């Protein structure tokens, strides 16, 4: 079975490997529900406890899928979902972090997930028009009512993390983090250590770049989010492929696939935070630690290997924005 990791200091414990469910309903082209449910059950049977979804995935379809998959198995799972958008006629219609919308969102998520509580409730993106104190306070009310157990933030910056945590304890912050996307290291991760907040890194394979199997934006169907992602376009794509090539070269030397020698978030203990888990997993991960000046990787292939990736190889042509 998988070891557990603590998220925050409020009592939340999750498996060291989690499963991000978004791609089972949206964003990566056609999805097969039967295969998705089989995957969810397989993860449960092998000790995965943390399952990550959101109202916007589908929208709604992903929460409904997870609700069906976890029916009669709910006690084995830690369910994380997200709020923070207006959804009109099945489409994204803007950010909405108002307390009344949060209360409406939790009722919808509870219904779709077929549960009486949500373990980890994230604000999906910061609404700049609503003070974060109001958001944290609203979720705090839901915790006291028993509808939510823990508060999380997704893609939040240091200022909002601190302000929210001062209002109501934040147990986890979810952000993209891998060898390919390391913008958290200068400010976010030190703040999480200081505040004793868990890090939930997603996309440990760098949206596929670290596998060596990515294509240009125009080669993906219009229904795939990568079709419109600037990181997959033109010169950005070329720069990102070059940056990821070092992983492929090292993997080839050891007779392994690039995806097996990946990602600073994977089952991390040492330098990031011993409380950080590895949810939102695109593939089962095993390994590693990071250092401020270089990426230190240990990967199980034939034996252990250790390497350093020069700073010059770690940049990206385009970085995604994080709210302040």
Over residues 40-57, the pLDDT tens digits come to 999 999 999 999 999 999
Positions annotated as catalytic residues are: 57
Q: Is the peptide bond before 59 cis (omega within 30 degrees of 0)?
A: yes
pLDDT at 177: 94
Identify the CA nearest to 241 among candidates 204, 207, 202: 207
pLDDT of residue 265 exceeding 70, the answer is: no
Q: What's the rounded mean pLDDT across residues 135-142?
A: 98
pLDDT at 212: 84
pLDDT at 261: 57
The band of 250, judged by pLDDT with boundaries at 50, 70 and 90, is: confident
Task: Name the more confident of 312 and 222.
Answer: 222
Over residues 187-212, the pLDDT tens digits come to 999 999 999 999 999 998 888 888 88
Token reading at 208: 């596929």
pLDDT at 286: 27
pLDDT of residue 161 exceeding 60, the answer is: yes
Task: Name the more confident of 180 and 239.
Answer: 239
Task: Name the more confident of 323 and 103.
Answer: 103
Share of the chain above pLDDT 90, in %: 64
pLDDT of residue 298 exceeding 60, the answer is: no
Identify the CA nearest to 83 among candidates 59, 115, 64: 59
The band of 235, judged by pLDDT with boundaries at 50, 70 and 90, is: very high
pLDDT at 284: 27
* Cα–Cα dist 136/133, whole Å: 5
pLDDT at 324: 47
Q: What's the rounded mean pLDDT across residues 7-28?
A: 94
pLDDT of residue 296 exceeding 60, the answer is: no
Token reading at 313: 């190889």
Q: Is residue 201 classed as helix, strand or coil in its secondary structure?
A: strand
Report strand pairing: 78-83 vs 4-7.
Answer: unpaired
Q: What's the rounded mean pLDDT across residues 6-19?
A: 96
pLDDT at 49: 97
pLDDT at 112: 98
* Cα–Cα dist 66/43, whole Å: 12
pLDDT at 273: 30
pLDDT of residue 262 exceeding 80, the answer is: no
pLDDT of residue 271 exceeding 80, the answer is: no
Over residues 64-92, the pLDDT tens digits come to 999 999 999 999 999 999 999 999 988 89
Q: Is residue 276 classed as helix, strand or coil in its secondary structure?
A: coil
Task: Name the more confident of 250 and 217.
Answer: 217
Residue 19: strand pairing partners: 51, 281
Q: What's the rounded mean pLDDT across residues 217-234?
A: 92
pLDDT of residue 246 exceeding 80, the answer is: yes
Q: Is residue 129 classed as helix, strand or coil in its secondary structure?
A: coil
* Cα–Cα dist 46/42, whole Å: 6
Q: Which residues have a Cβ under 8 Å from the Cβ of 269 and sit 6 or more positions away? A: 276, 289
For the chain, the average pLDDT equals 82
Q: Is the peptide bond before 316 cis (omega within 30 degrees of 0)?
A: no
Cβ–Cβ under 8 Å, residues 17 and 281: yes
Backbone CA torsion sign across 43, 14, 180, 55: positive
* Cα–Cα dist 243/74, whole Å: 41
Cβ–Cβ under 8 Å, residues 81 and 118: yes
The band of 1, judged by pLDDT with boundaries at 50, 70 and 90, is: confident
pLDDT of residue 295 exceeding 60, the answer is: no
Highest mean pLDDT among 21-30, 133-142, 229-238: 133-142
């Amino acid at each position: 079975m998988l070891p557990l990791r603590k998220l925050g200091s409020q009592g939340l414990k999750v498996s060291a490997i989690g499963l991000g469910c978004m791609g089972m309903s949206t964003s990566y082209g056609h999805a097969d529900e039967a295969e998705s449910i089989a995957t969810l059950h397989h993860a449960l049977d092998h000790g995965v406890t943390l399952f990550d979804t959101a109202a916007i995935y589908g929208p709604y379809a992903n929460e409904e899928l997870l609700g069906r998959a976890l029916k009669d198995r709910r006690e084995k799972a830690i369910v994380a979902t997200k709020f923070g958008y207006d959804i009109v006629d099945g489409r994204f219609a803007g950010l909405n972090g108002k307390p009344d919308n949060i209360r409406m969102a939790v009722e919808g998520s509870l219904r779709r997930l077929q549960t009486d509580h949500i373990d980890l409730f994230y604000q999906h993106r910061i609404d700049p028009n609503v003070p974060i104190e109001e958001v944290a306070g609203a979720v705090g009310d839901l915790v006291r009512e028993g509808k939510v157990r823990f508060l999380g933030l997704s893609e939040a910056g240091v200022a909002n993390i601190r302000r929210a945590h001062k209002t109501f304890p934040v147990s986890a912050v979810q952000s993209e983090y891998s060898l390919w996307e390391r913008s958290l290291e200068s400010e976010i991760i030190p703040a999480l250590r200081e505040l004793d907040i868990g890090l939930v890194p997603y996309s440990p394979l760098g949206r596929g770049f670290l596998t060596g199997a990515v294509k240009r934006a125009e080669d993906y169907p219009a229904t795939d989010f990568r079709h419109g992602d600037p990181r997959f376009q033109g010169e950005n794509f070329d720069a990102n492929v070059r940056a990821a090539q070092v992983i492929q070269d090292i993997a080839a030397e050891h007779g392994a696939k690039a995806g097996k020698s990946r990602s600073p978030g994977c089952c991390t203990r040492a330098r990031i935070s011993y409380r950080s888990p590895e949810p939102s997993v695109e593939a089962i991960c095993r390994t590693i630690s990071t250092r401020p000046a270089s990426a230190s990787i240990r990967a199980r292939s034939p034996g252990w290997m250790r390497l350093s990736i020069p700073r010059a190889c770690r940049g990206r042509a385009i970085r995604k924005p994080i709210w302040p």
